[in-house]
A and B are shown apart, each in its own frame.
Chain A
Amino acid sequence: MQQLPTDTAPMAARVQNLTKTFGAGESRVHALDDVTIGLRRGEFTAIMGPSGSGKSTLMHVMAGLDAATSGRVFIGDTEITGLSDLELTVLRRSRVGFVFQSFNLVPTLDVLGNITLPFELAGRSPSPEARRRIDALVESMGLGGRLRHRPHELSGGQQQRVAIARALATRPDLIFADEPTGNLDSRTGREVLGLLATASREHGQSIAMVTHDPVAASHADRVIFLGDGRVVADTPRQSAEAISAYMLSSEVGA
């Protein structure tokens, strides 16, 4: 294993001896089995694994969306295990960003309304600095002419760019991206991955991306493989071919 959370590098998020089980008795399932891992600040990490490997569960728990059965979870230096629902809500609002497979914009709000939503949820309007950042994001995402459009008037790629702008706007400690290219054609998907990689490289944004897709994972600085609720491999940037080869070999070996 390449990196442990005991590293001196500052962590955007980490989990220690994390276990998550669903159900009880006969039907008890170990979704995560004693996982210890850290996501370095400023890094673009891909979390891969076959269906049922626990990668989605890991993301839910790390983002404070679901509770751990045992173990500890940190976002930045804040331990989130044991926080109340309200504390978790406020933490997500200010320190975590999300990008989803199905875009998940609020259909009744226009593009600008969706981007500034995290600020409004906190009951404040964006600061002048945040406003400049939003303007720059809108510019770099190519959404300038579409601020007053509703989500259903946009293409999938445009919707996903709005979602990315929304996630970046608050400068969160960490952005979780759940199969962000799953609903996009390959060219649009590449653009979206490029935007995420740029945010990480040029603005030091920490990103954790859950994906099935070796091509998507090849854009990341680091690739973590999960299998049966455990970390089975942890590698630096790899080509899509290398990732595919690894996946195939572990499939055969299973």
Chain B
Amino acid sequence: MSAVAERPVGVSRRPRRLPRAERGLGASVLVAAISSGFGTLLIAATGFIGAWLLAAPYLAGRESVVAVVAILSALLVGVAMFVAAIVTTNTFATIVAGRTRQIALMRLIGASARSERARVARQGLVVGAVGAAIGLVGGTAAAAVLLPVARTVWGIDVDYALVQPTLAAPAVIVTLTTWAAAWAGSRRVLEVTPLQAISGATERNRSEAVGGRGRRIAAGILFLGGSLVLAAGIGLGLLSPLGVVVAFVGGIFSFTGLSLGATVIMPPLLRVTGRLFGRSAEARLAAENALRYPERSSRMAIGVVMGVTLVTMFAVASQSARQVLITSGGGEPPEELLSLMDTFAAIMMSLVAVSAVIAAVGLVNLLTLGVIQRRRELGLLRTLGFAAPQIRKMVLIEAAHLTVTSVALGLVLGVVYGWAGAQSLLGSIGVPPLFSSPTFVLPSIPWVTVAIVALATALLTGVAAVTPTRLATAVSPIDALAGD
């Protein structure tokens, strides 16, 4: 337009506007939709299978089989919803941290802390309701497609009405848990003072509370007590198959203890993982970032741990059960039995994998929000001489910290729980032709599953880092100099 030539020089790219922290709410809608859709689909499938089993007059003890199937699906849906709630709590805690100034401004104008918190929680209610509605429609639609397929493929002929009031149950529960999770995650709203709206740009990097003393003690008791009960279950399993019930209770307690104590357990583990990446500036900053908000990182990691533990558990249980049968019977068990066990394990693994997916969504979201909120600091690093590839490497290492640590812990726990399940259920049972009992085997590890899980970890790390690295390298050095 003039004689002055537009000469793009050096950093010619204008800083792209980063999305607002509110973008993180999308992830909450997504996890609410996944968990409620999963619940709806599983309820439909359970009802369908139940109707089919009850219609088969020759099956002995069919009521208890139906009950077991119902309990299993309730547990699976429960786990998925629990992981979803963890993710949502984290998302809201992160969003509130990024919104401190805005909340402070509202407080300055005259809003009370309680009303501000209620506002955040209401947002959770809306997010939960929207996600749950999407999940309800999606899950019902999926069931409407899959049930006729099941009818034709397996020749199941049974009267079963798909649309029933119970289908809405997961949606209602997810809406309420999302609301509750948003409430839990918004606790820090209460700590925002009106003064924060006007005071200068002080670093707001206060450490989050790492849980109360009472909580830590409860976590320790639950974990140790649960582990003892688990061991007792394995011992009892050598005498009676009922050992598995004791072991199950022990497993639930010990894992609950572990989840409660996540803020105590995860940071040291994350630190150990940090050493693996060396002492370069990128690795050191990434290690510190992974621990910047110990509570959030730990919560997120435990979500991934839960998913990986469950998937590994079923694989190890199946493999160890086979080992018990071989040891007791002194030879290969019948082919039909093995294929039945494998099918069961495969179905369970794919169902618990849903929880792992939900956890992965949360992980991606956590990293993304972290980068958005650290924009100024990333700009500073660029100014001081961090090249874009170094920023990319730093974010990638940070993602790897969380995935590697939680997957490693999940694998270990999965092996222990899976083996405990198989051993406590089958340890006392004699199998033809030798009928030797009691049988004690060491955990047998399905290396194929481990390899798949490791591969999935690498993939998850890569995927989790895509958006954050893109956002992080888009930060221009000037962002460090600009005011808030």
Contact = CB atoms under 8 A, between A and B. Distances in A.
Interface of A: 19, 21, 24-25, 56, 60, 63-70, 80-86, 88-90, 92-94, 98, 100-109, 113, 117-118, 120-123, 150-152, 156, 166, 178, 183
Q: Which 3 residue pairs of A and B lie closest in terms of their CB atoms, listed nearest first?
A: A93-B385, A108-B288, A120-B281
Interface string B260-291: 00000000000000000000110011001101
Given A89-B382, A106-B381, 15 more contacts: A19-B4, A60-B478, A60-B481, A65-B477, A67-B8, A70-B7, A81-B10, A83-B10, A84-B10, A90-B387, A92-B383, A102-B201, A103-B203, A107-B205, A108-B205
Interface in B277-307: 280-281, 284-285, 288-289, 291-292
A115 B369 CA distance: 28
B5 interface: yes
B481 A56 contact: yes
A102 B387 CA distance: 22
Residue of A69, A89, A92 with highest tally of chain B CB at under 10 A: A89
A126 to B, nearest CB: 13
Contacts of B483: 101-102
The main secondary structure of chain B at its interface with chain A is loop
Contact of B377 (A64, A66, A84, A107): A107
A66 B478 contact: yes
B386 to A, nearest CB: 5
A69 B201 contact: no
B401 to A, nearest CB: 13
A101 B202 CA distance: 11
B203 A105 contact: yes
Given A82-B9, A108-B285, A123-B281, A98 B200 contact: no
Given A82-B9, A92-B383, A120-B281, A183 B377 contact: no
Interface in B369-409: 376-377, 380-388, 390
A116 to B, nearest CB: 9
Contacts of B376: 104
B64 interface: no
A121 B200 contact: no
B206 interface: yes
A86 B376 CA distance: 20
A100 B383 CA distance: 11
B388 A98 contact: no
A21 B8 CA distance: 12
Nearest to A17: B4
Given A56-B481, A70-B7, A93 B206 contact: no
Contact of B11 (A21, A65, A102, A121): A65
B6 interface: yes
B480 interface: yes
B411 to A, nearest CB: 29
Contacts of B10: 64, 66-67, 80-85, 88
Nearest to A166: B384
B12 interface: yes
B281 A69 contact: no
Given A92-B383, A108-B285, A118-B384, A69 B7 contact: yes
Interface string B1-21: 100111111111000000000
Contact of A152 (B203, B387, B481): B203
Contact of B387 (A68, A86, A105, A156): A86
B398 to A, nearest CB: 11
Contacts of B390: 121
Contacts of B383: 63, 65, 92, 98
A89 B476 CA distance: 11
A54 to B, nearest CB: 14
A58 to B, nearest CB: 13
B345 to A, nearest CB: 43
A98 B384 contact: yes
Contacts of A82: 9-10
Contacts of A151: 203, 205
A83 B10 CA distance: 5
B377 A106 contact: yes
Given A60-B481, A152-B205, A183 B200 contact: yes
B431 to A, nearest CB: 57
Contacts of A81: 9-10
Contacts of A183: 200-201
Residue of B5, B203, B483 with highest tally of chain A CB at under 10 A: B203
A6 to B, nearest CB: 23
6 contacts: A83-B9, A89-B388, A102-B201, A105-B203, A109-B288, A117-B384
A113 B281 CA distance: 10
A25 B2 CA distance: 11
A17 B420 CA distance: 77
Contacts of B202: 152, 156
A68 B385 contact: no
A118 B289 CA distance: 18
B383 to A, nearest CB: 6
B478 to A, nearest CB: 5
A56 B383 CA distance: 15
Contacts of B4: 19, 21, 69-70
A121 B386 contact: yes
Residue of A107, A118, A152, A183 with highest tally of chain B CB at under 10 A: A107
A69 B288 CA distance: 39
A150 B206 CA distance: 11
B380 A104 contact: yes
A69 B6 contact: yes
Nearest to A86: B387
A89 to B, nearest CB: 4
Contacts of B292: 107-108
A148 to B, nearest CB: 14
Interface in B330-344: none
Contacts of B7: 68-70
B378 to A, nearest CB: 10
A106 B285 contact: yes
B481 A89 contact: no
Interface in B190-221: 200-203, 205-206
Nearest to B205: A107
Given A81-B10, A88-B11, A151-B203, A100 B481 contact: yes
Contacts of A63: 383
B207 to A, nearest CB: 9
